[in-house]
Structure 1
Amino acid sequence: MYQSNKLTKAVRLALVAGATTTALAAPAAMAFADEAAAEDKGVERIQVTGSRIRRSELTAVTPIIEIDAQEFAISGNLNIEQKLAELPSTLPSFGPSSNNPGDGTATVDLRGLGTSRTLVMVNGRRWVPSNQSGVVDLNTIPASLIENVEIITGGASAVYGSDAIGGVVNFKMKDDFEGVEISTLYDVTTENDAEKFNLDLTMGGNFADDRGNAVLYIGYSKREALFQGDRAFSDKALTEGADGLIAGGSSGIPGTRVFGGPTLPNGDNLGRFLPDGSGAPFTGADRFNYAPDNFLQLPQERLTMSAFSHFYINDETRIYSEISFIRNEVPQELAPTPAFTTIEVNPNSAFFAPDVQQAMLNSGDLNADGNYEMFVGRRMVENGPRQAIDTRDAMRILVGIDGYINDDWSYDVYYSRAQMDQSNLLNNDVSASRFKQALLVNDAATACQDTSGGCVPLNIFGEGNISDEAVGFVNVGAANITSIKQEVFMATVSGSLPFTFPGADEPVGVVFGYEKRQDESSFRPDEFLSAGDVLGFNAGQATVGSYASDELFTEFSLPLMSGKDFAEDLSLWGAARFADYSNIGQVSSFAAALNWAPTDWVSTRIGFQSAVRAPNVSELFLGAANGFPGATDPCAVDGYQPGVTSDALCLADGVAADQIGVFEQANGQIEGSFGGNENLTEETSDTFTVGIVVQPFEGLDFTIDYFSIEIEDAISSYGVNNTLNVCYNIVKDANHETCKNITRRADGNVDIVQSLNANIASIETTGVDFNVTYNKELDFGLFGDGSDLNVQFRSTFLEKSDFVPIVGLDTKYECAGYYGNTCGAPQPDFQANTRINWTNGDLTLSALVRYIGASDDDQLMVDSDLAKSDLIVPEIDSALYVDISASYVFSENLNMNFGIKNVFDEEPTALGDSQQQANTFPETYDVIGPRVFVSASYTFD
């Protein structure tokens, strides 16, 4: 490796404020200087994410978590999000089991504040966005190329800019490599399914008399599908019955469900159809089990290619580049289309048996054309399962130059351009217009009354009655295209000022920088989606928009005192950022922290950060998109609250007087129309941290950090359920915006609820992180030599996780310790994991013990009058997962890992109505069962 002849200068520079930054790819001499300084002091020196000024982990200005490459290798994690989800400070987000909801990406959510509030970086720089929210898909970052991961939780906008309200996850990649390394991993369950495989090739070498280095990486990975029907835990859609969990499902059935149907001659209400077209009542036993058709593990195929290079023009100047291409294909699969819609039929049609014909003709509800209108739910099993195939092609190129200005100052300038192109193919959907056209037939049911477009009669009135020709007429697919571009230009100058404070040994360190960023993206839906002419996928309009920002930032480190009684070290750190956004105007953020070490084995830190997050393209420009969230109608029997719900408002909106609080809601899912708002402003947050670091003796250290994060003007939407609740139970005013956004059908059921983004919410979370690291040299070993023991314990005590959906109204969801339809994924009061490594020569034995505390159903939080005994499943039990693995270095060239995950086959608590999917929260709890993996890497020159 080429080394500058100004090594003395670099050593001095590294020992003071630290002139390089995470975003600045440090020159080799600088990196060597840090290592040399660390070796002299007997401690490891690392680059941390909380600051652009170099510090060691235990003296960082804010709490830091670091994960090294060995942890990924010994864990056998093919996908990064699975490792991050194991950390107590993260809330599991989309991952391999996120089928519905899910979008084929894998994301990280620090402190449970939302994925759009977690900034993901690679080598300290922004990475390729995966969607119009700017969120990074962790599938695009190969685990085998990671050198380490640094995580800071809490507002870091002053240092890194927008999106860092929840924190920063920085992946440092291997970009300086000599030789060839081939690595592979195979992972399979003990049921011999759900395989995972990857193969990686890394090649690198020096050139031009060691003045330069280039690295090429090629990786391929494949993950096989697993369906919910492949596991007994998830093969039925569970719901809550009178005496426990029972098999549930959807009211959209293959025999066609009729809501509010006429009375049959035998006195029953028409609720469904038998195969011969006759009628029958609908019971809970008739519900359709949609679970088996859903993925429990999404298949994935990924190709990654990356190239890193740098070259020293002279002793002071280096140029560098990074180029990446990633292709991800991740399908999703759902049960066949549930066609819930109002239809018009010919009551004399041969589709119907005489009893149904008579019931419709005698109902007195025929329209002017003599036809009968009904609201139905038809499961289109003849059309096949719905499929969404997402293919994302991501590219990123970065070029930069860095170097020394003089003995005390360095600089870095770079430009990056990232682009993501996504094709979203939707298969086996049903056209709403063709569906209705094909149902209105002549008396003989041999032809459509409207024959345009080659209409074929569609007999949905009884299971198995749809012909292949009719399927061909109503079946539609869609092709949606998303394009995202991000450009970043950054220039920084950093170094040390030529003076020190009295009592301090080191000078003041500073960083000055300028960043210009432009984000633009477009989502162009298929004509069927944009027109709303679909029954199985959510309709949506185009989303097109862009914004730019110009930002100035600075950071400083002031060593105030060192080597004194009760002041072994006292320093002040600060940062500020001033940004001008093209859409929201000028915003600012700042941070400050005080580190005080009264002795060489105890240190304390206290910090405050004021952060901002600018609205992203999706939040600003999202075209109207329809969704079907679970919601309860306050005017219906299940949602009505006597003395609370406004009867007058229900009546005014079209609910019959004798049906208020009486009628049964047609469906547990209510259609909503969601969209962006160009008038949004920035979110603001305050983060307060205070902590202590104790190193009582060599080999042991522990940290205790209290955190408090408050977010104001949080971007949210009323949502369907909140809109209904606010309108009928709180404001009770027809002129309020929530009431204006509700439309009902003629039968009194809610038709659609409109909900746009707005700065209406607030979020607050507080808690304590307690971490312990212990290293011990032991006198015994399997091979006659001594051995080493390493224990790392990480834990989080969650005190508060509050969400106020609409500031100003008396509604606060206190979600710490809860899960469910309001709070989402479980947020237990306590989580911890412990990694134990025992190394003896070339052998390392390891165990990971992960504990997730119990959580209560959030119905208990929402309704104070509800007792645990009133619920079928009042809580999710605590879970304890144990993974074991072994690593052996056969030679300097060959290393192998073997392991078993979830050794004791820990199964989650089965849930009914308060689940996310697969009868649980599958990104939080393991529903697949024990997995066995083996991996190997071989290196040669």
Structure 2
Amino acid sequence: MKTNKLTSAVRLAIGAGAVTATMPVAQLATAQEQMIEEVVITGSRIRRPDLEAVSPYTTVDAEEFQLSGTINVEQKLNELPQTLPAFGPSSNNPGDGTARVDLRGLGSSRTLVLVNGRRWIPATQTGVVDLNSIPGTLIKRVDVVTGGASAVYGSDALAGVVNFEMIDDFEGAQITGLYDITDEGDAEKYNMDITMGGNFADGRGNAVVYASYSKREALFQGDRSFSDVALVESGDRLVPGGSSGVPGTRIFGGPAVPGAGFDLGTFGPNGEALPWIEPDSRFNYAPDNFLQLPQERYLVSSFAHYDVNEHVRTYGEFAYSYNKVPQELAPTPAFTTVEINPNSAFLSADAQAALNGAVNEDGESLLNDDGNYVAFIGRRMVENGSRQSIDVRDAFRVLVGVDGDINDNWSYDAYYSLSNLDNSNALNNDVSASRFIQAVATNDAGTACQDPSGGCVPLNIFGAGNISQEAIDFVNIGATNITSIEQEVIQASVFGDLFTLPTAEYPVSVVLGYEHRRDESSFRPDTFLASGDVLGFNAGEPTIGSYKATEFFGEVSVPLLQGAPLAEDLTLWGAARTSDYSNLDDRVNSFATAINYAPIESVKFRLGYQEAVRAPNVSELFGGNANGFPGADDPCSAGGFQPGVTNSDLCVATGVAASQVGNFTQANSQIEGRFGGNPDLTEETSNTYTAGVVWQPTDSLDITIDYYDIEIEDAISVLGGSVTNVLDLCYNVIQNAGSAFCQAVNRRADGNVDFVNVLNANIGTIETSGVDFNVYYSTDFGFGIGGNGSTLDISLNGTYLDEYDVTPVAELSDRVDVCAGNFGNTCGNPLPEILVNTRATLRTGAWTFSGLLRYIGETDDDQIENAGATDLVVPTIDDEYYLDLTVSYAFEQGLTLSFGGLNVLDTEPTALGDSQQQANTFPETYSLFGPRYFLSASYTF
């Protein structure tokens, strides 16, 4: 039977490129009549059921979440080949309690998240949406558009759009619950939802109310064998390592201990002098860190609409979310410069002798005028307890709108929305830097501080467990920081048909619209945090800013030819947007065009070009200075020095002793970076080319292949792209002490890097290209449980990543970081060349059996391709397979039970050393917990 245009469009929206397409082909004819009023082509605002997608896209339907036993929607989205895992349930350090989605690995701030086609609540000053605030049970489907969509949806859509279509016409009541636990009996998850809705006013209106409660229990890195020890690279193997901030106190560059044959490196429990032994002396911080962050979440949502008359429909939305996510880190590592009384009773005789006898190369005493020894130390404050960072986000959103038909050809839509979020961040068990320094300098007896002001209590840091509770009470501090975010959106649009060309069957369609958006936010840090008087958490300064955007946009779809020989359909599509941002000097413009050509009904070609822009957000523009600790390599150290490449003289000129260049051991694998906003940022632009083919050889088989090529110019990032890049550019590439990159590097007296200033900047380019391939097959069988036949659906969704290159400095076009197929301190999360998801679902009678097989291709340490490294301990992360299985049964009384197992093959991540993110791996990319099992129930009445 020949399918008509609407059926073809519906089939594409459901099948082609879909992760799961749950509607059997046999039902399409019925679906045509049910869906005609709700089909909205993703990637365009034009409401034409005959217009097929103009950009590569993927659809995830509600059943995929049910089959996966997913409480948090980011976990399912992060499995898509088109996304790079962002912050999620295992993002402890770094992390901020949010859950995000990152299309094409281009960054969460370049991915626009919408709900029902409209902007959702921003959760950070970067404008990123916390997916925790989206009610999972109400999701009808998720449409993912990749390849740039700024012309259609706005600035943030440079990488693409993730749109959550919600159920807004529910009738009846539904209660759902889920319990999830690992095979080791830990890391539980609980979820309970209730949805109620119904029609009113003789069917002219409908209202839906939804409430949800979720809880996720904590799991520590110490609870799994692959993460219970912080691993480092030593020689040709991974060995237990950790931090140089130790409970016994590390003293850097300590003096020789008389008659002992070693330099003072750390202290025993009675203050005795001990040597520093690599890596045995290091502190294992891993067990104190979360592997799964605990969470408690409440959601309340409502949707309503009412047909006033045949031309006017009013609608409204309300959402409230409360989300509490703690992070927990090992006790504060106090890295700071202190004055030590060499005659202190806290020290043993050999330690006193070493400090009193400390001299420089000229034989001069190193004691200062007060008779104290000045040292840079690392002290792990285990007596103070683990550091806690507790994020609580309260958010609400209200939206009111009106839409309807003007006449048979024209319709309109207008709405106003207001979103507000307050984020309270409590920091517990930090240490005051000033009080710590004050309390270390004591009298000879150790009974009083040399500076007794403020009630100072002597602090005995010489040996593990020696700090008194009174001293802890003196140095312990907490902080409460408040972030407030408000977004206001006004949008109005009209859409309709103009005329029909003589060669076409369908009219030319247009959309014209206006949007005004106001974004305002503030970050108000605690006094201690703002002053920088903290040792355990990243210092931060206030961030206050706002901007407004006024935009006009339009789209046009021009059917050029239909029903002709070798031209079943030929349609030209275009979109444009002009934006006036209050924080930019000039207007910015985006436009897009695409041509869809179907020589025959079963084959369609699509070719597109989009020029997109992204204006800097509040955080990027106005963010106060803050520090962080990314993994980085010091080129002047033994581990980072490259003979014949690294400039030794420059190392000496910037603070490394000549004898130590290429010889000293980097104190920590993490190096402090100081980050902050830049009000002089300009917009970044992107050019995206797409080319694809859609082939439907039969009614039961859809195949799509899409090529994409994206280039971002003037990309907004940190100076040089990363701390590692700045160090590399300074010492290995530019090699000029006066360059901005060398000026950003600050070293301590012992030669180690103290910190690197990497404020926001418009850097060079980011280029990525690849191919998406999707297959959907569905077939019916005449046999099955209950004698009613059965249906088998198979979907495959994959991506081949051909290129992901970053040019951190526009003027140095030959300096390119190659990241496709790589991972590490330069490229970050693994970017496999091949990612594939395959799901097979069999429905027979009341039973559903489903399996999902995920494949993540192998990746190499980015030092191999970008720095020529040949002696890495773990050069490659192996490819991984994950298998999830689910079975469900639908009772006649409205009850459905599902049972599933995730990662049933018990696939464990490859253990990493220096080139990891956290927990000896990349925890949002790879499954960490072993097999998980879930039981869910849904009762509708």
Q: State the TM-score, normalized to the length of structure 1.
A: 0.94
1:58, distance to aligned residue in structure 2 (A): 9.2
Partner of 2:758: 755
Query: What does 1:373-392 correspond to in 2, within 5 Å?
Result: 373-392=374-393
| Structure-2 separation of matches of 1:775 and 1:472 | 67
Partner of 1:54: 47
2:287 to 282, 292, 300: 292
- Cα deviation code 1:590-649 (max 9, x no counterpart): 001100111111111111110011100010001011122233333333333344333443
1:15, distance to aligned residue in structure 2 (A): 11
Partner of 1:712: 713
Partner of 1:430: 431
1:241, distance to aligned residue in structure 2 (A): 2.3
Contact 2:340 2:373 in 1 (8 A): yes
Partner of 2:370: 369
- 208-217 vs 81-90, which moves further: 208-217
1:673, distance to aligned residue in structure 2 (A): 1.6
| Structure-2 separation of matches of 1:57 and 1:142 | 31
- Cα deviation code 1:821-870 (max 9, x no counterpart): 11111111111011101001211110001111111111111123x33xx2
The residue matched to 1:70 in structure 2 has which SS?
helix
1:251 to 220, 228, 244: 244
| Structure-1 separation of matches of 2:35 and 2:639 | 66
1:179/1:785 CA distance change after superposition, 3 Å: closer
Partner of 1:188: 181
1:278 to 272, 282, 293: 272
- 126-135 vs 755-764, which moves further: 755-764
1:105/1:41 CA distance change after superposition, 3 Å: closer
Residue identity opposite 2:714 in structure 1 = D
Structure 1 spans left out of the alignment, 5+ residues = 1-11, 19-33
Partner of 2:604: 603
Residue identity opposite 1:824 in structure 2 = G
1:351/1:41 CA distance change after superposition, 3 Å: closer
Partner of 1:908: 909
Partner of 1:227: 220
Contact 2:170 2:198 in 1 (8 A): yes
Partner of 2:362: none
- 775-784 vs 544-553, which moves further: 775-784
| Structure-2 separation of matches of 1:872 and 1:700 | 46
1:861 to 859, 865, 876: 865
Percentage of pairs with the same residue: 62
Whether 2:194 is the aligned partner of 1:201: answer: yes
- 832-841 vs 740-749, which moves further: 740-749
Residue identity opposite 1:416 in structure 2 = S
| Structure-2 separation of matches of 1:579 and 1:432 | 46
1:42, distance to aligned residue in structure 2 (A): 11
1:570, distance to aligned residue in structure 2 (A): 0.8
1:311, distance to aligned residue in structure 2 (A): 1.1
1:807, distance to aligned residue in structure 2 (A): 1.6
The residue matched to 1:783 in structure 2 has which SS?
helix
Partner of 1:330: 325
| Structure-2 separation of matches of 1:456 and 1:367 | 23
Contact 1:500 1:508 in 2 (8 A): yes
Residue identity opposite 2:832 in structure 1 = P
The residue matched to 2:732 in structure 1 has which SS?
helix
Residue identity opposite 1:593 in structure 2 = A
Contact 1:543 1:622 in 2 (8 A): yes
The residue matched to 2:155 in structure 1 has which SS?
coil
Residue identity opposite 1:316 in structure 2 = H
Contact 2:393 2:422 in 1 (8 A): yes
Whether 2:355 is the aligned partner of 1:360: answer: yes
1:668, distance to aligned residue in structure 2 (A): 3.0
The residue matched to 2:787 in structure 1 has which SS?
coil
The residue matched to 1:577 in structure 2 has which SS?
strand
Contact 2:42 2:53 in 1 (8 A): no
Residue identity opposite 1:48 in structure 2 = I
| Structure-2 separation of matches of 1:389 and 1:57 | 50
| Structure-2 separation of matches of 1:903 and 1:739 | 50
Partner of 1:767: 770
| Structure-1 separation of matches of 2:559 and 2:534 | 64
| Structure-1 separation of matches of 2:44 and 2:31 | 18
1:675, distance to aligned residue in structure 2 (A): 1.0
- Cα deviation code 1:688-716 (max 9, x no counterpart): 11111111111011001111111100001
1:897, distance to aligned residue in structure 2 (A): 1.3
- Cα deviation code 1:232-273 (max 9, x no counterpart): 111111112224221111111111111100111122100000
1:894/1:676 CA distance change after superposition, 3 Å: same
Partner of 1:131: 124
2:818 to 786, 795, 814: 814
1:839/1:535 CA distance change after superposition, 3 Å: same
Contact 2:523 2:542 in 1 (8 A): yes
Partner of 1:831: 835
2:338 to 337, 340, 343: 343
1:177 to 170, 178, 186: 170
Partner of 1:30: none
| Structure-2 separation of matches of 1:727 and 1:458 | 40
Partner of 1:569: 569
Residue identity opposite 1:39 in structure 2 = Q
1:806, distance to aligned residue in structure 2 (A): 1.6
| Structure-2 separation of matches of 1:303 and 1:172 | 20
CA root-mean-square deviation = 2.1
Residue identity opposite 1:730 in structure 2 = V
The residue matched to 1:239 in structure 2 has which SS?
strand
Structure 2 spans left out of the alignment, 5+ residues = 11-26, 359-364
Residue identity opposite 2:372 in structure 1 = N
| Structure-1 separation of matches of 2:686 and 2:48 | 25
1:717, distance to aligned residue in structure 2 (A): 1.6
Whether 2:513 is the aligned partner of 1:513: answer: yes
The residue matched to 2:804 in structure 1 has which SS?
strand
| Structure-2 separation of matches of 1:743 and 1:545 | 29
| Structure-1 separation of matches of 2:735 and 2:47 | 57
1:169, distance to aligned residue in structure 2 (A): 0.2
1:183, distance to aligned residue in structure 2 (A): 0.8
- Cα deviation code 1:6-43 (max 9, x no counterpart): xxxxxx9999999xxxxxxxxxxxxxxx9999636999
- 800-809 vs 441-450, which moves further: 800-809
| Structure-1 separation of matches of 2:924 and 2:416 | 36
Contact 2:255 2:263 in 1 (8 A): yes
1:650/1:853 CA distance change after superposition, 3 Å: closer
1:727 to 712, 727, 730: 730
- Cα deviation code 1:745-795 (max 9, x no counterpart): 333333332121111131111111110000101122122231101001111
The residue matched to 1:861 in structure 2 has which SS?
helix
Partner of 2:21: none
- 887-896 vs 105-114, which moves further: 887-896
- Cα deviation code 1:82-115 (max 9, x no counterpart): 1011111111111111111111111001111111
Residue identity opposite 1:823 in structure 2 = C
Contact 1:45 1:55 in 2 (8 A): no
| Structure-1 separation of matches of 2:669 and 2:883 | 38
The total of aligned residue pairs comes to 911
- Cα deviation code 1:218-243 (max 9, x no counterpart): 11000000111111111111112224
Contact 2:631 2:914 in 1 (8 A): no
| Structure-2 separation of matches of 1:580 and 1:660 | 52
The residue matched to 1:285 in structure 2 has which SS?
coil
1:178, distance to aligned residue in structure 2 (A): 1.3
- 55-64 vs 911-920, which moves further: 55-64
1:449, distance to aligned residue in structure 2 (A): 1.3
The residue matched to 2:104 in structure 1 has which SS?
coil
Contact 2:509 2:557 in 1 (8 A): yes
1:803/1:556 CA distance change after superposition, 3 Å: same
| Structure-1 separation of matches of 2:242 and 2:649 | 34
1:433, distance to aligned residue in structure 2 (A): 0.5
| Structure-2 separation of matches of 1:251 and 1:57 | 64
Contact 1:57 1:64 in 2 (8 A): no
| Structure-2 separation of matches of 1:699 and 1:492 | 37
